């Protein structure tokens, strides 16, 4: 039988297709192997290879980025003129990374974060937010002041308007000069005054906005507002350097200050831009002021609370002593600063007075004569005045730095014992059902407390100092704000 021509044509065609597919698969495998081999060679090859005509001289690194310096050589091996150049050894940064590096150079100190303390970031975050709200508020206050001046312009010459504006600024400068005499208090109660200054700043802004309601009182209101705001500016300026100094780990206080001010200015500009956009929509002035003020005050409070200082002022000293008496341990720097009372402003009465006068500490001479022998070996006298409900520490003229610290410690111990005595007497009165009687202390009660405190201080003041130093606290009497009165022996001649 003759072979079917259709079958004969089909078989060679199938064979040829099979061979073609096999050849194609083999080619693809070879291509894949060659691609992998080339990729592996490229991965193992340095980023930049130095041609044989170039000689590597040295290498350098800046913030993790590396370069090597090369030079061309001629046939005799001598370096060619003007051939010394750097070659990049790192992968070029993406445009976004380049932008972030540029921004970082303006807003954070060099060597960040190793060049500053950990509390720097939260402080600058809240500071930027505070300046954002402050910048936004500035647009509305300025707009209001200009509007108030415009209302009175119909009844006054332009020269009189200018004089009113100059008088307003002049009154602020006078207030700034008068408040500057409080100098040392900016060191004693740095955080408290910083927060008080921000409260005054918002008060001044509120008075400026009030000129919209009574434009005929522009001059007195604007002068008062400017005085208040300039006092706040003195407070901010005076407390700025100690705060930045607490963040600097080395001799970089200038860098930290410059970058901190840059962050504040950026946030201020952003707030100003936002407020201009809002002002074009004629929002409610009262609502806008309330929201911005709340944001400003909250940011100011969090900003001040985030500062970690190493020194023991009166507020932090009280926290440290109270913790030591209750638990036997001195709080860490972070704990002591977080528990510090920011609202204990210097002008408020304090339950413990250091370096007081005799007439404030003692009501009767008999009280002084009864207590004085207990402090023969000390350079201070501590007592409790029941009529004023305060503990007083009177310093002797020989008192040195450690004596003042010990007097402050002794006064806080006495205050703690008096509070315990008050609580026990109040509970006993409550048990007897005598709720209308006030807690009173006899002379015997006070003398017993005094004797107990002398024993406690003798055994615990040394351990308190040592534990405070171990936690990193700087023990100095200079920030405890001791009064200037000193007790000296009478001249009996």
Among 414, 409, 395, 388, smallest CA distance to 461 is for 409
- Chain region(s) in the chain for CATH 1.20.1250: 120-305
Which band of pLDDT confidence, cut at 50, 70 and 90, is reported for residue 375? very high
pLDDT digits (tens, 9 = 90+) for 380-430: 999 998 888 899 999 998 889 899 999 999 999 999 998 888 777 777 766
- Which residues, in sequence order, are bridge partners of residue 116? 248
Number of helices and strands (H, E) in the chain?
Answer: 15, 6
pLDDT digits (tens, 9 = 90+) for 251-281: 888 899 998 989 999 999 999 998 889 888 8
pLDDT at 492 over 60: no
pLDDT at 182 over 70: no
Residues 268, 273, 279: CA angle, nearest 5 degrees: 120
| Summary mean pLDDT of the chain | 80
Which band of pLDDT confidence, cut at 50, 70 and 90, is reported for residue 235? confident
Among 269, 248, 254, smallest CA distance to 113 is for 248
Contact indicator for 145, 208 with CB cutoff of 8 Å: yes
R_g of the chain computed on alpha carbons: 38
Please provide residue 492's backbone torsions phi and psi, each rounded to the nearest 5 degrees.
-90, 10
Residue 280 to residue 278: CA distance in whole angstroms = 5
More confident residue, 450 or 477: 450
Provide CATH code, domain 120-305.
Answer: 1.20.1250
Share of the chain above pLDDT 90, in %: 27
pLDDT digits (tens, 9 = 90+) for 117-147: 888 999 999 999 999 999 888 888 888 877 7
Cα 354 to Cα 44, 314, 403, distances in angstroms: 73, 10, 12
Q: What is the pLDDT of residue 172?
A: 63
Q: What is the pLDDT of residue 159?
A: 52
Angle at which helices 120-153 and 253-279 cross, to 10° = 40
């Amino acid at each position: 039988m003759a072979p079917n021509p259709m079958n004969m044509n089909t078989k060679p065609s199938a064979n040829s297709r099979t061979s073609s597919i096999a050849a194609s698969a083999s080619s693809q495998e070879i291509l894949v192997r060659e691609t992998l081999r080339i990729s592996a060679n490229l991965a193992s090859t340095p980023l930049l290879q130095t041609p044989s005509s170039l000689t590597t001289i040295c290498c350098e690194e800046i913030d993790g980025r590396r370069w090597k310096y090369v030079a061309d050589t001629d046939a005799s091996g001598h370096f060619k003129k003007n051939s010394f150049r750097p070659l990049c050894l790192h992968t070029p940064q993406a445009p976004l990374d380049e932008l972030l590096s540029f921004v970082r150079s303006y807003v954070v100190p060099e060597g960040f974060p190793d060049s500053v303390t950990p509390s720097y970031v939260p402080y600058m975050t809240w500071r930027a937010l505070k300046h954002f709200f402050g910048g936004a508020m500035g647009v509305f206050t300025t707009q209001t002041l200009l509007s108030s001046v415009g209302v009175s312009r119909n009844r006054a010459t332009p020269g009189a308007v200018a004089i009113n504006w100059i008088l307003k600024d002049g009154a602020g400068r006078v207030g700034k000069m008068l408040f500057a005499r409080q100098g040392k208090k900016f060191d004693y109660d740095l955080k408290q005054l910083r927060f008080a200054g921000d409260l005054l700043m918002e008060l001044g802004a509120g008075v400026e906005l009030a000129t919209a309601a009574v434009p005929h009182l522009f001059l007195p209101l604007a002068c008062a507002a400017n005085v208040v705001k300039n006092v706040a500016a003195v407070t901010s300026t005076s407390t700025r350097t100690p705060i930045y100094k607490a963040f600097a780990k080395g001799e970089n206080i200038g860098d930290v200050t410059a970058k901190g001010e840059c962050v504040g200015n950026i946030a201020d500009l952003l707030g100003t831009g936002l407020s201009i956009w809002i002002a074009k929509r004629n929002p409610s002035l009262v609502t806008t002021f309330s929201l911005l003020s709340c944001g400003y005050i909250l940011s100011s409070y969090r900003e001040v609370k985030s500062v970690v200082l190493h020194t023991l002022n009166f507020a932090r000293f009280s926290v440290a002593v109270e913790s030591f008496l209750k638990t036997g341990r001195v709080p860490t720097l972070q704990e002591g600063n977080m528990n510090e009372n920011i609202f204990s402003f210097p002008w408020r009465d304090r339950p413990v007075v250091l370096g007081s006068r005799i007439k404030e500490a003692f009501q009767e001479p008999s009280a002084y004569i009864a207590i004085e022998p207990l402090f023969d070996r000390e350079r201070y006298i501590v007592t409790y005045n029941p009529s004023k409900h305060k503990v007083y520490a009177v310093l002797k003229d020989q008192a040195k730095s450690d004596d003042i610290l010990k007097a402050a410690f002794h006064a806080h111990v006495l205050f703690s014992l008096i509070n315990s005595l008050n609580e026990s007497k109040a509970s006993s009165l409550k048990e007897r059902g005598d709720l209308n009687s006030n807690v009173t202390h006899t002379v015997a009660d006070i003398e017993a407390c005094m004797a107990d405190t002398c024993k406690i201080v003798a055994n615990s003041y040394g351990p308190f100092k040592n534990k405070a130093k171990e936690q990193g606290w700087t023990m100095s009497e200079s920030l405890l704000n001791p009064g200037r009165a000193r007790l000296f022996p009478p001249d009996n001649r």
